[in-house]
Structure 1
Amino acid sequence: MGNVMALKVVDEGKSGDAAMEQVPTYDALELTKGGKVATITLAGKHYTLRITKAVKLILTK
Protein backbone atom coordinates (compact mmCIF):
# COMPACT_ATOMS: atom_id res chain seq x y z
CA MET A 1 0.00 0.00 0.00
CA GLY A 2 3.05 2.27 0.03
CA ASN A 3 3.01 2.80 -3.73
CA VAL A 4 2.94 6.34 -5.01
CA MET A 5 1.62 7.09 -8.47
CA ALA A 6 1.31 10.25 -10.50
CA LEU A 7 -2.19 11.10 -11.64
CA LYS A 8 -3.17 12.94 -14.77
CA VAL A 9 -5.72 15.72 -14.33
CA VAL A 10 -8.24 15.61 -17.16
CA ASP A 11 -9.29 18.96 -18.63
CA GLU A 12 -12.46 18.49 -20.64
CA GLY A 13 -12.60 22.16 -21.63
CA LYS A 14 -16.00 22.71 -20.05
CA SER A 15 -16.74 26.20 -18.80
CA GLY A 16 -18.73 26.47 -15.63
CA ASP A 17 -18.71 27.66 -12.09
CA ALA A 18 -15.34 29.09 -10.98
CA ALA A 19 -15.28 26.73 -8.00
CA MET A 20 -15.94 23.70 -10.22
CA GLU A 21 -13.07 24.62 -12.53
CA GLN A 22 -10.62 24.18 -9.64
CA VAL A 23 -11.79 20.66 -8.72
CA PRO A 24 -9.23 18.07 -9.87
CA THR A 25 -10.60 15.33 -12.13
CA TYR A 26 -9.04 11.86 -12.31
CA ASP A 27 -9.66 9.08 -14.78
CA ALA A 28 -10.83 5.97 -12.89
CA LEU A 29 -8.86 3.71 -15.23
CA GLU A 30 -5.71 5.65 -14.30
CA LEU A 31 -6.47 5.09 -10.61
CA THR A 32 -6.93 1.35 -11.19
CA LYS A 33 -3.99 1.17 -13.64
CA GLY A 34 -6.34 -0.27 -16.28
CA GLY A 35 -7.88 -2.80 -13.89
CA LYS A 36 -11.14 -2.83 -11.97
CA VAL A 37 -10.00 -2.09 -8.38
CA ALA A 38 -7.92 0.55 -6.58
CA THR A 39 -7.24 1.27 -2.92
CA ILE A 40 -7.59 4.87 -1.76
CA THR A 41 -6.35 5.96 1.67
CA LEU A 42 -7.57 8.84 3.81
CA ALA A 43 -6.46 9.56 7.37
CA GLY A 44 -4.89 6.10 7.62
CA LYS A 45 -8.06 4.30 6.53
CA HIS A 46 -8.27 2.24 3.34
CA TYR A 47 -11.16 2.45 0.88
CA THR A 48 -11.77 0.26 -2.17
CA LEU A 49 -12.80 1.82 -5.47
CA ARG A 50 -14.37 -0.67 -7.89
CA ILE A 51 -15.44 -0.30 -11.51
CA THR A 52 -18.51 -2.46 -12.14
CA LYS A 53 -19.49 -4.36 -15.28
CA ALA A 54 -22.08 -1.61 -15.87
CA VAL A 55 -19.16 0.91 -15.88
CA LYS A 56 -20.20 2.54 -12.61
CA LEU A 57 -18.09 3.28 -9.54
CA ILE A 58 -18.48 1.85 -6.04
CA LEU A 59 -16.42 3.18 -3.11
CA THR A 60 -16.46 1.02 0.03
CA LYS A 61 -14.66 1.10 3.35
Structure 2
Amino acid sequence: MQKLPDPSPANQPVEQAVHDARALVPNGTTANIVLDGQTYTLRITRAGKLILTK
Protein backbone atom coordinates (compact mmCIF):
# COMPACT_ATOMS: atom_id res chain seq x y z
CA MET A 1 0.00 0.00 0.00
CA GLN A 2 1.37 3.43 -0.98
CA LYS A 3 1.79 5.99 1.82
CA LEU A 4 0.22 9.38 0.99
CA PRO A 5 1.73 12.68 2.18
CA ASP A 6 0.38 14.05 5.46
CA PRO A 7 -2.24 16.72 4.58
CA SER A 8 -1.98 18.38 8.02
CA PRO A 9 -1.65 22.19 8.16
CA ALA A 10 1.89 21.86 9.58
CA ASN A 11 3.08 20.76 6.16
CA GLN A 12 1.36 23.61 4.33
CA PRO A 13 3.08 26.96 3.72
CA VAL A 14 1.64 29.69 5.93
CA GLU A 15 0.58 32.85 4.14
CA GLN A 16 1.15 35.90 6.30
CA ALA A 17 -1.07 38.95 6.18
CA VAL A 18 0.61 42.21 5.14
CA HIS A 19 -0.75 45.58 6.28
CA ASP A 20 0.51 49.08 5.56
CA ALA A 21 1.03 50.69 9.00
CA ARG A 22 -0.11 54.09 7.72
CA ALA A 23 -3.42 52.54 6.65
CA LEU A 24 -3.87 51.20 10.21
CA VAL A 25 -3.21 54.65 11.69
CA PRO A 26 -5.83 56.89 10.06
CA ASN A 27 -4.97 60.03 12.08
CA GLY A 28 -1.30 59.71 11.16
CA THR A 29 0.09 59.00 14.63
CA THR A 30 -1.68 56.34 16.71
CA ALA A 31 -4.12 53.43 16.48
CA ASN A 32 -5.56 51.11 19.13
CA ILE A 33 -5.29 47.35 18.56
CA VAL A 34 -7.21 44.85 20.70
CA LEU A 35 -5.98 41.30 21.32
CA ASP A 36 -7.83 38.97 23.69
CA GLY A 37 -9.45 41.90 25.48
CA GLN A 38 -6.16 43.79 25.93
CA THR A 39 -5.76 47.15 24.17
CA TYR A 40 -2.41 48.07 22.67
CA THR A 41 -1.37 51.38 21.09
CA LEU A 42 0.51 51.42 17.80
CA ARG A 43 2.36 54.68 17.24
CA ILE A 44 4.33 55.96 14.26
CA THR A 45 7.16 58.21 15.43
CA ARG A 46 8.41 61.34 13.66
CA ALA A 47 11.38 59.26 12.53
CA GLY A 48 9.03 56.75 10.85
CA LYS A 49 9.51 53.98 13.42
CA LEU A 50 6.75 51.85 14.95
CA ILE A 51 6.18 51.55 18.69
CA LEU A 52 3.65 49.09 20.14
CA THR A 53 2.76 49.61 23.81
CA LYS A 54 0.27 48.09 26.20
In 2, the alpha carbon distance for the partners of 1:55 and 1:35 equals 11
Match of 1:27 among 20, 28, 37: 20
TM-score (norm 2): 0.71
Give unmatched runs, 5+ long, in structure 1: 1-17
- Structure 1 vs Structure 2 CA RMSD: 1.2
Which one has the largest radius of gyration?
2
Number of positions where the alignment pairs a residue of Structure 1 with one of Structure 2: 42
TM-score (norm 1): 0.63
Give unmatched runs, 5+ long, in structure 2: 1-12
